[in-house]
Amino acid sequence: MIDCQGLQWGAPGRPLTPPLDLHLAAGSLTGIIGLNGCGKSSLLKVIAGLQAPLAGLVRVDAPRQGGIGFLQQQQAFDRQFPINLRELVGTGLWHSTGNHRQRQERLDQALRRWQLCALQRLPLEALSGGQLQRALLARLDLTDAAVLLLDEPEAALDQASQALFWERARQWQSEGRTLLVVSHAIGHLSSRLDNALLVSPQGCILAPLAQLMGKSLERVA
């Protein structure tokens, strides 16, 4: 589903890691971990096609339009944009083929699933960080993307909302979607991930998280 061959990324002339060869199968759930500034978020942008690699190739087996869903960190989001929460979540339906009634039913379902019904008319600037994060996840939930790239999806979420996210992530995976999740929450991830990719200037290692815990991973937490 995702293939990287000799991939390097970063500032021009300053690759963040040695060349990366990586294959992730359809339906896999993989974490991306590493120290701050090591290039985790940049790697997601390269895979999403939002940033050009310095070298190598990326192949994603997904449609060009609507095939990749990308959850960016909140600081990249304009909270002053003059729409309300329902309108924000509804943008996840841009590539939907259903009629108006079907689209509204899907939107209502997503709002219920992410416990946002009471907030749907609020402007974005009135939302807390956790409420906005659930809205962004609900928007992603409405896409039919086969590949989901999630940059710190647990950010600002309380414990109950984190459990809701991981329940939904497993459902996405059971539908055959491929998930890449950037996270700093190392402690509880080992029971949730198939594998993790440790990114560092010395090179990238793909392995079960339990194995990576012994490779100086305490510096990542």
Q: Which of 64 and 46 is assigned the larger pLDDT?
A: 46
The residue-averaged pLDDT of 82-100 equals: 93
pLDDT computed for residue 220 by the predictor: 45
113 vs 12: CA distance, rounded Å: 43
Average pLDDT, the chain: 91
The pTM assigned to this predicted structure is 0.92
pLDDT computed for residue 75 by the predictor: 85
User: pLDDT of 94-148, one tens digit each?
Assistant: 888 889 999 999 999 999 999 999 999 999 999 999 999 999 999 999 998 999 9
pLDDT computed for residue 189 by the predictor: 74
Task: Locate the domains of the chain by residue range.
Answer: 78-144
pLDDT computed for residue 190 by the predictor: 66
pLDDT computed for residue 214 by the predictor: 60
**Model confidence band, residue 187 (pLDDT cutoffs 50, 70, 90):** low
164 vs 171: CA distance, rounded Å: 11
Tokens of 88: 């924000």
Cβ contact 153:137 at 8 Å:
yes
- Alpha-carbon Rg for the chain in angstroms: 18
84 vs 131: CA distance, rounded Å: 12
Q: Tell me which of 85-89, 182-186, 193-197 is least confident.
A: 182-186
List, as one string, the DSSP characters of the chain. -EEEEEEE-EETTEESSS-EEEEE-TT-EEEEE-STTSSHHHHHHHHHTSS--SEEEEEE-S-TTTSEEEE--GGGS-TTSS-BHHHHHHGGGTT--S-HHHHHHHHHHHHHHTT-GGGTTSBGGGS-HHHHHHHHHHHHHTS--SEEEEESTTTT--HHHHHHHHHHHHHHHHTT-EEEEE-S-GGGTTTT-SEEEE--TT--EEE-HHHHTTTTGGGT-
132 vs 69: CA distance, rounded Å: 17
CA 219 to the chain's CA centroid: 22
215 vs 208: CA distance, rounded Å: 12
User: pLDDT of 155-175, one tens digit each?
Assistant: 999 999 999 999 999 999 999
